[in-house]
Amino acid sequence: MITSVLVANRGEIACRVFRTCRELGIRTVAVHSDADAHALHARVADTAVRLPGAAPADTYLRGDLIVKAAVAAGADAVHPGYGFLSENAGFARAVLDAGLVWIGPPPDAIEAMASKTRAKRLMGLKPLTDVTEADLPVLVKAAAGGGGRGMRVVRHLADLDAELAAARAEAASAFGDGEVFVEPYVENGRHVEVQILADTHGTVWPLGTRDCSLQRRHQKVIEEAPAPGLAGELEEELSALAVRAARAVDYVGAGTVEFLVADGRAHFLEMNTRLQVEHPVTEAVFALDLVAEQIRIAEGHPLDSTPPRARGHAVEARLYAEDPSRDWSPQTGRLHRLALPEGIRLDTGYTDGDDIGVHYDPMLAKAVAHAPTRTEAVRKLASALGRAVIHGPVTNRDLLVRSLRHPEFTAARMDTGFYDRHLPDLTEPSPDPHAPLAAALVDAHRRSRFGGWRNVPSQPQTKRYAMAGQEHEVRYRHTRTGLEADGVRVVHADAHLVVVEVDGVRHKFDVTRYGDQIHVNATALTALPRFPDPTTQHAPGSLLAPMPGTVVRVADGVTAGSAVKAGDPLLWLEAMKMQHKITAPVTGTLSELCVVPGQQVEPGALLAVVTETF
C-alpha cells in the first residue's frame, strides 16, 4: 500500500495529484526550484524539498536529485505528472532502483513509445530522412517530450537547417534531449486522441476520444470529450489502434495515443506514456479519477473487465498568461485575483497574490465544464470564462470565449488550422466603451466627498487611460445632484461599483485598482499621468522586449549597420521554456543592436533600432 507520494513536477499538475492523494489519505511530498520556493504546490504539500537553482535543467530535470529527495522525505512512491521527466525511462528505472514505487508505465514501455521516432517504427511508420521540395510542408518535431516545444513547420527548403537547429535547442532546454525528426505536415487535420488505462493483469481500457484541434504553436488550447462528429467505424478504429499500441509494449497505467484525422482517415502521431494535460475532460465524461486509478494500478489492483459508460460531454480551456494578439507572447507579474463561477472545475497552480515568473510554462489554469450535451457544455464554459474574475497580467481569456462561441467551433467544424484562419478576428480589441468612465468615477469617489451638496457646479474633471492600445480621455463633473458625464446618467458610484444609464439601459461595472492597473469587469486599463514622461519615449523603429527573458542568439550576420527587410529575424528571446523570434518591423538599416547572447532583459528593454528606408 502506498502511503506517501512525491510528485516530480510543479504547478497545476502537482496540485492536481496532491488533491487526489489527500482524498485517498496519502501523504504528499513536493519538490521545488528556488523560483518556486513560494509556489502553491510547495505550500500545499505535507513536505517540500528544495532543488537548488531555477532552470529546468538544474531542477525538475535532475532525476538524481528528485530520487534523493523522495528517499530523504520518506516517500514510498513517485508520480511524474506530465512534462519534465514524465517520459524518461532512465528516471523511471532510477526510481525503481531506489526501492520506490513508480506510478507510471514500465521503463521499457516508456523507452519504446516516449521517443516518437521509435514509436512510429513500432507502428510500422518511418520519419522522413532526405527532405525534398516535393515533401513540403514538413513538421520538425522533438523526439522526446511534448507541449509544442521543439516543433517547427517548414514550408521552404532553405529554412530547414535553421529550423532543425532551433528545434534541437528548444527540445534540449525543455526535455534534456535534443533529438528531433521530420515528418509530413498534414494541413488542417483534426487532432484526435484516445485515453487508455491498463493494469498489470492484462486489461486495457480505451476511454473514448478527445478532440484537441484548437492549438497555438502546436500546443493545445481547447480540448473536449468525446471528439464530436466522428463516424462510428472511425471511432472503433481509433480505439482498436490505441489498444494495439498499448499491448505492443505491455503498457501499464494511464496513457494517450494521438492521431491526426484527415479525409476520414487516422494517421498515428505518437503515444504519450503519461497523464495528459487534458485528462479532466475524460474524467468528467467517465466519472473517473484517473490519478486515483494510476495509484491503484501501481498498487497492483485490477481494473474491471469493462470500462464505465461515457455520459455527457466535457470541454476544457487552458487559461494562459499570454497575449495572443502579440504572437502569443507570455506575460509575467502578480496574479491579484483568479475566480470562476461555481459549477466549473478549475485546476490551477496559482492562488490570489502569486507571482507568474519567467522560468516555466505560462499556463495559469484549466477550466472544465461538463453537461449532458456538447452545446450545453460549450455554452456553460464560454459563459463562465466571460464572467471570470482575472486580475493581473494579460491572459488569453477573451480569445477562449470567442473561440468557444465561433460558428466553426459550435458546429464542430474546427481543425488544427483554426487559429491560422481566425486569429486576427478573435483578437480584435473590443473593450467596453464605458470602462474608462467607470474607472474615472471610482477614482472621483475616492478623491472627493462624493455625494456632497454643491451650490455651484464644479469645473469638468479629466482623466486619461490606456485601453486596448489606445488612449482614452474621460470628462465628468460634480453637480448639485451628483456626478455627470456627457450622454450618461450616473445612477451609483462608490469605491468598487458603478452603475450608469445609457439610453434607458442600466450597466453595472465592478472596478478594482492595483496601482495604475485597473480592471473594469473584464476590461483592463492603465491610468495615465496628466503629462507624459519624456524619458520613456523611444526612437521610431525601436524594438522593445515583449517579455522578460534571455537573449539566446542573434541572427547570423546581423550587426549594427546591417541592411534588413521587414520580417527578417534579428534575435531570439527564451522565456517560459519557449524561444520567441524578434523580427525587423520595417525595411531599412539596423542602426543599433543593444543586446548580446546570454543577456537577461526585462519587459520594455530596448533590443534594437531599425531605421526605415524610404
Distance CA 511, CA 474 (A): 16
Cβ-contact 612, 540 below 8 angstroms: yes
Helix, strand and coil content of the chain, in percent to the nearest 5, comes to 30, 35, 40
Q: Indicate the burial class of 32 (C-beta count within 10 angstroms; 0-12, 13-18, 19 or more).
A: buried
Q: 316: closest CA among 273, 269, 272, 365?
A: 365
Distance CA 369, CA 371 (A): 7
Give the number of other CB atoms < 10 A from CB of residue 411. Answer: 10
What letter would DSSP give residue 591? E
CB-based burial, 304-324: b 16+ in 10 Å, e otherwise = eeebeebebbbbbbbbbbbbb
345 noted as active-site residue = no
Backbone angles phi, psi at 71, to 5 degrees: -65, -45
Cβ-contact 14, 78 below 8 angstroms: no
Peptide bond connecting 226 to the previous residue in cis, omega within 30 degrees of 0: yes
Strand 27-33, strand 47-51: pairing: parallel
Q: Which of 10, 149, 190, 274 is catalytic?
A: 274
Paired strand residues for 605: none
Distance CA 319, CA 191 (A): 20
Give all strands (DSSP E) within 372-481, no chain letters. Answer: 389-391, 461-467, 470-479
Distance CA 112, CA 462 (A): 67
Give the number of other CB atoms < 10 A from CB of residue 550. Answer: 17
Cβ-contact 317, 347 below 8 angstroms: no
Residue whose grid cell is 528516471: 91
Amino acid at 309: R
Catalytic residues: 274
